[in-house]
Structure 1
Amino acid sequence: MQVLKFGGTSVGNAERIRQLVLIVAAERARDPHVVVVVSAMAGVTNMLLGAVQAAVGGNVAAIDHAHAELRRRHLETLAQVVASDAEHQALQAQLDALLERFARIGEGIALVGELPPRAQDFIAGLGERLSARLVAAALRADGIPAVAFDADQLIVTDDMFGSATPDLAATALAARECLRPVLETGQIPVVTGFIGATPEGIPTTLGRGGSDYSAGILGAALEADGVVIWTDADGFMTADPRLVPTAQVLSEISYAEAGELAYYGAKVLHPKTLLPLIPKGIPLYVKNSFRPDSPGTCVSATTGDWQADVKSVTSIKGLALITVAGRGMLGVPGIAAKTFAAVAAAGVNVLLISQSSSENNLCFMIEGADAEKTRAALVKALAVEFHQGCVERVDAHQPVAIVAVVGAGMRGRPGIAARIFSAVATANVNVIAIAQGSSEINISFVVAEGEAAAAVTAIHERFELGAMTSA
């Protein structure tokens, strides 16, 4: 059995959905048991959330505009992928019912001037509910039996709205009970990505980009033979081809390498997607729905046959470097604990941590949008330490970027770091902070945002990744 996930660009219009149908038909010919997971049509989630955020300020017109535009776009696509009048009428009624619910919730939000987390999660997942019904209808129109499933029937989560955590055991029971009978009758379940529900049935979301994660969760729950992420990229690459024209597709990488690359800027995969697959050893494939014949990347427990110390260089921009500094920090226990407790309480995600050996300086990376609230939270949390003179300042430096150099071949190989930073120095790029995990498959460092592209290019050239081949 295969789980096939299609992203927003892969379901973005009627033409892309027709291409999806061809891909699913080809996969079904090889394996009759196929589960399809879909994202919302490209841009839909942003439009939904933008409209309800505007409604909080009393802008009801934003809801009306979004409702009209979403209805136009989805009904236009429906008319192009479904020929049967009866099917068209039935699907239009379903789509209209979902959009009317959005309009009613939006009007209520505008009336009270507040967006409860539960309401936001329902609105955020509405695009997937719409696209799943369109895709299932398109498959049926091509003679492939398919049925749409809302994942709040399948994926059981906690109540952390906006970024819920799945209960994998409960999800496995629900997914098998709902989907296996459908698969055994030869039908294809078309499941909404991104959404789940609490045990009480309250809709939740898995965080932005969570449709990939949904595919991983369902792949593990159903013990699939593989999970395929169909996206608009050829796979994991040696670098971002927009920065480095000579970048190549990596045919095989390990779970650990893919996880590092996804976390540090490779946009082809949500970082959590692999978590449920790793314990079961289920391989994941990343392929391009615009070029379905391209081989893509296989992600598994092995590193593959690529003969190179470094496999890829990636970067994340739009970040801020937060520094907690003070000559009195030396030997004082608990400052790091209080620092990160305050950051966690503010709901801020930390991407990288570095500390000077003198203990006078602790710095970490966060999203740039969180810089001011993080700095304010730290000043408040460390008030005693400021008064005692242990901490002298909390600074926010932005915009900065993380550059990550990844490869399992780096482990235990002397001189890799020297080659990396020699290349960066030759490109006249200043390194602000450095971090390396004990796994030795990732060396990350911080540079000014405007210098990130030069650093990536220099490292790619130094390690000759543009000429890398598999053995």
Structure 2
Amino acid sequence: MRVVMKFGGTSVGSADAIRQVAAIVKESRQNHEVVVVVSAMNAPDLRTTDTLIAAAHAAAQGEGDATAHVAPRLLDLHMRAAAELAPPDACAALETEIRTMLDYLSDLSRSIAVLGELTPRALDLFSGLGERLNARLIAAALRAAGVPAEAIDATELIITDDRYGAASPIMDETTARSRKRLLPLLEAGVVPVVTGFIGATRTGVPTTLGRGGSDYSCSILGACLDANEVWFWKEVDGVLTANPKVVPEARSLRVLSYSEMAELAYYGANVLHPKTVLPLVQRNIPIRIRNTFNPSHPGTLIGEGRGDRTARAVTAIKEVSMITVGGPGMLGLAGVAARIFIAVARAKANILLISQASSEQSVCFAVPLAEAPAAVAELRKELENEFSAHDVEHIDVKDSVMIIAVVGSGMRGTPGIAGQVFGAMGEAKINVIAIAQGSTENNISLVVSAADGDEAVRAIHRSFAL
């Protein structure tokens, strides 16, 4: 069986954690062909990617030595771990590689300081370095544990467009390159250790895949290599029925459908980014979420099918604003909804939820809190004539709200689910500001005040005995 497995930043954040990763890979390799995808190191006192991005922005403000200040810390972080994991000769070779990469970034930092400008293309060079450093460390640790391994930059494999900071893969070219580069290694018994998060344009310019990019890298490679399964090693025992910080009695789910996972990811479950699931759904490749620090736990299996229960989990998106556009003249005003959403798109705001009454006199939608001011400004410009004619009379913004999502593919066609959700809200004396349900019936979403959000999650969790 061919398995592509990804280890997140905390799973590779220390020598002890990396030692655990090596043990997992070594055991898995006895029965499977294994490809490993890694994130940058996230140590308690040094989050690599955040540190690199901060240095890039400091350089743009004229601090030419910004990277020179953080380079010794990054070198020390990786070499201290290496000293515990690999023999001296391997450590010496690794240190040479790391110093070369850090020196290049220091040169780039000084150039940015002279120009006084940080382009998205340059920022991608900075933010993707952590994965490049860590892939080499993990490969050295695997070799020291008796596992043949080779570090590979995903710039050789994942070909993307040139949307720096949030690039999309060009799948046919990525598939050809990945298979040509990785399949011979697998046939030779070598474990490729691939950098997550990064790719490159057709001309070889490095890019990054945006939020959740390392998980996305793993699913892209899983699809390209026709993996039998793709495993994401996290710090939790699979996907939980709710955030355990909010609901202490939350439990891990044994199985989920693709659609359930996608809904949970979209609505705030910090397990997989929504776009991660797509390449694997298209090829019907099962996903497993497992715990690096509790590898005996089976975790959660995600695949085709429909849940055998009604609601499966409840999750929430915090720091949301609810925007309402209303006025008596909106009734029957052709194209007004389209213009509202075009204006929001110009503001580059992400609409999380939409609700409209059948009277058509108002449209309300939720966007991330930080994106609301720009969205409102664009709406006022777009609807200026309608305001003058009093067709539209108000644009109201309600900050400090949360979206609560109840997810379960078994909810489809089951009477009484919505009643149970809102009954739970009534018993908890929580006011529901807005309601939405997708046409798939896999999700019932409601908006409540931020002050009531956690209690709303707990009330629904109790009501469905999740």
Counterpart CA distance in 2 for 1:396 and 1:120 is 33
Matched with 2:104 is 101
Matched with 1:342 is 343
Matched with 1:190 is 193
Counterpart CA distance in 2 for 1:131 and 1:262 is 26
Contact 1:253/1:297 (8 A) holds in 2: yes
Matched, 1:55 2:59: yes
User: After superposition, where does 1:214-363 map in structure 2 within 5 Å?
Assistant: 214-303=217-306, 307-363=308-364
**TM superposition shift of 1:453:** 0.6
Matched with 1:34 is 34
Matched with 1:72 is 76
Counterpart CA distance in 1 for 2:362 and 2:110 is 50
Matched with 2:12 is 11
Say which is worse superposed, 349-358 or 59-68, in terms of deviation: 59-68
**TM superposition shift of 1:343:** 2.0
Superposed CA deviations along residues 92-113 of structure 1, whole A, max 9, x for unmatched, are: 1111111122222222222222
Give 3-state SS (helix, strand or coil) of 1:373's partner.
helix
Contact 1:320/1:398 (8 A) holds in 2: yes
Contact 2:7/2:232 (8 A) holds in 1: yes
Contact 1:231/1:286 (8 A) holds in 2: yes
Matched with 1:129 is 132
Give 3-state SS (helix, strand or coil) of 2:404's partner.
strand
Counterpart CA distance in 2 for 1:374 and 1:77 is 46
Matched with 1:468 is none
Counterpart CA distance in 2 for 1:255 and 1:261 is 10
Counterpart CA distance in 2 for 1:211 and 1:173 is 20
Counterpart CA distance in 1 for 2:150 and 2:300 is 29
User: After superposition, where does 1:389-408 map in structure 2 within 5 Å?
Assistant: 389-408=390-409
**TM superposition shift of 1:167:** 1.4
Contact 1:159/1:204 (8 A) holds in 2: yes
Q: TM-score, normalised on structure 2? A: 0.96
**TM superposition shift of 1:61:** 5.1
Q: Which amino acid aligns with 1:257?
A: E
Superposed CA deviations along residues 158-202 of structure 1, whole A, max 9, x for unmatched, are: 111111111111111111011111111110100011111111111
Give 3-state SS (helix, strand or coil) of 1:281's partner.
coil
Counterpart CA distance in 2 for 1:274 and 1:26 is 26
| Number of aligned residues | 461
Q: TM-score, normalised on structure 1? A: 0.95
Counterpart CA distance in 2 for 1:265 and 1:442 is 13
Counterpart CA distance in 2 for 1:448 and 1:107 is 47
Matched with 1:89 is 92
Contact 2:59/2:109 (8 A) holds in 1: yes
Cα RMSD, aligned residues only: 1.3
Contact 1:372/1:396 (8 A) holds in 2: no
Counterpart CA distance in 2 for 1:382 and 1:179 is 54
Q: Which amino acid aligns with 1:246?
A: E
Superposed CA deviations along residues 115-161 of structure 1, whole A, max 9, x for unmatched, are: 10111112111111111111011001111110011111111111111
Say which is worse superposed, 228-237 or 316-325, in terms of deviation: 316-325
| Aligned residues with identical type, % of pairs | 50
Contact 2:61/2:116 (8 A) holds in 1: yes
Say which is worse superposed, 384-393 or 310-319, in terms of deviation: 384-393
Q: Which runs of 5+ in 2 are unaligned?
A: none
